[in-house]
Amino acid sequence: MNKFVVNGGKPLNGEVTISGAKNAAVAIIPGVILCDEPCRIENIPNISDVALIGTILKEMGAIVKRVNKSTLDIDPRHIRTHEATTDLVRGMRASYYLLGALLGRYGKAKVLLPGGCNFGVRPIDQHLKGFEALGCDHEILDGAIDIKCREGKLKGNNIYLDVVSVGTTINLMLAAVKAEGLTVIENCAKEPHVVDLANFLNSMGADVRGAGTDVIKIRGVEYLHGVTYSIIPDQIEAGTYMAAAAATRGRVTVKNITPKHLDSITAKLREIGCDIEEFDEAVTVDARGKNLTRCNIKTMPHPGFPTDCQPQFVAMLTSCNGTSIINENVWDNRYQYISELQRMDAKISVEGRLAIIEGGTPLKPAQVKATDLRAGAAMIIAALTADGTTVISNIHFIERGYEEVVEKFQQLGADIKKVYDPEGELAESV
């Protein structure tokens, strides 16, 4: 029943500090299961997905203590089960990383099929093909994937991924860290959080080489020691605030980032006419007084333009003059949110994987909803550009991946607040 109420029409100005990467955190935290000692994980985003995976580990027996808002101490030595079958597992897509971690530790795993944002088929056939190559059999029972090693221990092997998949790459890395011998994964995903997971595993004593390239080689080890590890900044959160600065014609400095991770995003912002200034760990987007114009975007695996920034840029491009064309090349059905932007009088049409945006017409305030995590961020950006009051519902999607999103936008001068609306009265006022 919580909603965001946004009074738009004001440019964003100021500084915002980016949190740790959600996509790295939800892989690294399950990765602690593989460790033979306690670990401290720093720069963790304070979001619902992280709280959820922490709770799942607790229910499995791990000792999880929050040191402060961005630091967790995790002791996996008390985990006594290879099963994660609580309903909490259904609450997030990344819970399937428990498969690789539990397989790596126990040689068997039983995990409920994951949930998360629903914007297309999320098959795990690639994951299962990889686990089979490592010596496992699987079956699906009562909505759970039950995987067991044929010989009690994983065996290294050569694995070629039919499609570039972040989830498969991460899951096979987790499984192979303690497998016997050498595992070679080809056609790997290269995303920054894949590299971050490899760095985390190596800091514990794993032997993972080639992360960030097409081929990752993992030589199994028997023991992993505890570490203190800091997660990378969130490139998608950074891209969201950068798009919002452009959409509102403001000037925003985004801090605590890795500029190299944002190359595809800054390139498009420059293309439409923004001034971009990069620093060692920050970037400034200046769109004040700019006559921003159209661009075309094709989402691709890293280092291409990230699909997770596509909705935010669509919302931003509605404010830019000319016709922009988006080619969503990663997910089949990521345009569910377009109908919500159309409620705000956005001139957007969808033809298969293409979204055609007739920009330059101001959006109108409306009652809209978040259809998934990144689409929810797009609704905020759209609301910030509309002159009037927009009410956004289904904000639990947004809070899955954005830490203190209201407070951060308020720091930039946005008129946004979170309200409790059990009777749906706000809808009648818009």
Catalytic residue set: 117
Residue 328: DSSP 8-state: -
- Tell whether residue 23 is among the known ligand binding residues: yes
φ/ψ of residue 85, rounded to 5: -120, 15
What's the CA gap between 38 and 36, in Å, rounded? Answer: 7
What's the CA gap between 301 and 329, in Å, rounded? Answer: 9
Beta carbons within 8 Å of 298's beta carbon, 6+ residues apart: 304, 305, 326, 327, 329
Tokens linked to 217: 């080689």
φ/ψ of residue 345, rounded to 5: 75, 25
Task: Find out whether 22 and 239 touch, Cβ atoms under 8 Å.
Answer: no
Beta carbons within 8 Å of 270's beta carbon, 6+ residues apart: 276
**Residue pointed to by tokens 């919302």:** 315
What's the CA gap between 241 and 369, in Å, rounded? Answer: 19
Q: Is the dihedral of CA 89, 117, 410, 22 positive or negative?
A: positive
Q: Taking the C-alpha atoms of 193, 196, 197 and 203 in order, what is their torsion angle to the nearest 10 degrees?
A: 180
- Tell whether residue 124 is among the known ligand binding residues: yes
Neighbours of 231 (CB within 10 A): 27
- Tell whether residue 330 is among the known ligand binding residues: yes
Identify whether 303 is preceded by a cis peptide bond (ω within 30 of 0).
yes
Q: Taking the C-alpha atoms of 101, 105, 107 and 112 in order, what is their torsion angle to the nearest 10 degrees?
A: -40
Which phi-psi region, left, alpha or beta, contains residue 322 (left: φ > 0; alpha: ψ -120 to 50)?
Answer: left
CA distance to 134, 274, 349, per residue, from 354 (Å): 38, 24, 8
- Tell whether residue 308 is among the known ligand binding residues: yes
Task: Find out whether 232 and 198 touch, Cβ atoms under 8 Å.
Answer: no
- Tell whether residue 333 is among the known ligand binding residues: no
Binding residues for phosphoenolpyruvate: 22-23
Binding residues: 22-23, 93, 122-126, 308, 330
